[in-house]
Amino acid sequence: MRRKTPAPLPQRFGLDPARMRLPETGSWPTVRAHLADRLPLVTPAVLDAMFTERRIADLRGPLELDAPYVPGAVVWFHRELPIEVPVPFPIGVVHRDDHLLVVDKPHFLATIPRGKHIQETALVKLRRQYDLPDLSAAHRLDRVTAGLMMFVINRADRGAYQTLFRDRLVHKEYEAVAPVNPGLVLPTTVRSRILKERGVITAQEVDGPPNAETEVELLEQRDGLGRYRLRPKTGRTHQLRLHLTRLGIPILGDDFYPVLTERPLDDFTRPLQLLARTLGFTDPITGQEHRFSSRLTLAAWTDYPSWASDASRRSR
């Protein structure tokens, strides 16, 4: 396997620099002139600051404002970061050893930098808090889902742990709070075909051979509300949310299913009542058997009265 060339710039605010290859053909006199065309949303003043603050480099080091354009060369740079709404919930550490960092990710915190969420992500926060520049995510959780997330500490170990999830060698259990449907026979297994199109915020169930499977079990109930154990056999986008909606028991706090509802990024009330409860696997590095359990709870179950109206509305 071809090794990736190390970046000539250190991380900034826990983020790696972006990598860009310059086109083989072009008439730009300088790297700055090319970047001005390539990055039209970056103002000239900001672009100049990126050079003067030594945030743009090639393999020889930081570039000057008048650095000549070299066709086919590679440059690295740190972009200006957007202003983000702070997520006011802590990340709890469940386990740490020489290879793994397992945490309880709170609701509303994205796993990795993407789109509007850069510094307010679990990966960047953990890199900075624990001084772990090579930390990487072994898998992902939706921003609105809380619970167990596994991160790999050493770059060399990343593939071994990510392969566990790719090959479905990790036992995963989730908890959800949703209305009770008296006519629903549980436990049951839901199978469907799920399609997530790029650029579309929600996923869809479509006709065709199933590619998603979830075991659903009702653990306990009270006053029309149920606490469910979910065992996904596959890992499709929004699979658990779609499958409970399919059963007529959409998860409380879900802004996507069955009806898409917009929520401001600074609204941290009534989170999705879905929790990654358990992770179990054989460690591919040490051979040790791991079984981790989340220490978080779901608010709709521990504070039922404040969620009763939502439960009643969804059960109709």
Q: Read off the pLDDT of residues 182-232 as tens digits, 9 standing for 90 and up.
A: 999 999 999 999 999 988 999 999 999 999 999 999 999 999 999 999 999
Task: Quote the pLDDT of residue 202.
Answer: 95
Q: Which of 270, 273, 290 is nearest to 281 (CA)?
A: 290
Q: Residues 143-187: pLDDT tens digits?
A: 999 999 999 999 999 999 999 999 999 999 999 999 999 999 999
pTM of the predicted structure, to 2 decimals: 0.86
Task: Quote the pLDDT of residue 145.
Answer: 98
Strand 56-58 with 61-62, pairing: antiparallel
Task: Quote the pLDDT of residue 305.
Answer: 66
Please tell me the distance from the alpha carbon of residue 179 to that of residue 159, in angstroms, as a whole number.
40
Residue 248 CB partners (closer than 8 Å, separation 6+): 181, 184
Instruction: Spell out the per-residue pLDDT of the chain, length 316, in tens.
Output: 445 678 899 999 899 999 999 999 988 999 999 999 999 989 999 999 999 999 999 999 999 999 999 999 999 999 888 889 999 999 999 999 999 999 999 999 999 998 889 999 999 999 999 999 999 999 999 999 999 999 999 999 999 999 999 999 999 999 999 999 999 999 999 999 999 998 899 999 999 999 999 999 999 999 999 999 999 999 999 999 999 999 999 999 999 999 999 999 999 999 999 999 999 999 999 999 999 999 999 999 987 666 766 655 555 5
Please tell me the distance from the alpha carbon of residue 73 to that of residue 193, in angstroms, as a whole number.
44
Please tell me the distance from the alpha carbon of residue 234 to that of residue 212, in angstroms, as a whole number.
5
Alpha-helix runs per DSSP H in the chain: 31-38, 44-52, 122-130, 158-166, 239-246, 299-302, 308-314
The answer to whether the CB of 124 falls within 8 A of the CB of 304 is no
Task: Quote the pLDDT of residue 69.
Answer: 95
Task: Quote the pLDDT of residue 255.
Answer: 96
Token pair recorded at residue 274: 């879905």
Residue 87 CB partners (closer than 8 Å, separation 6+): 106, 108, 109, 120, 268
Sign of CA dihedral 109, 301, 182, 234: positive
Name the packing angle between helices 44-52 and 31-38 (round to 10°).
Answer: 140
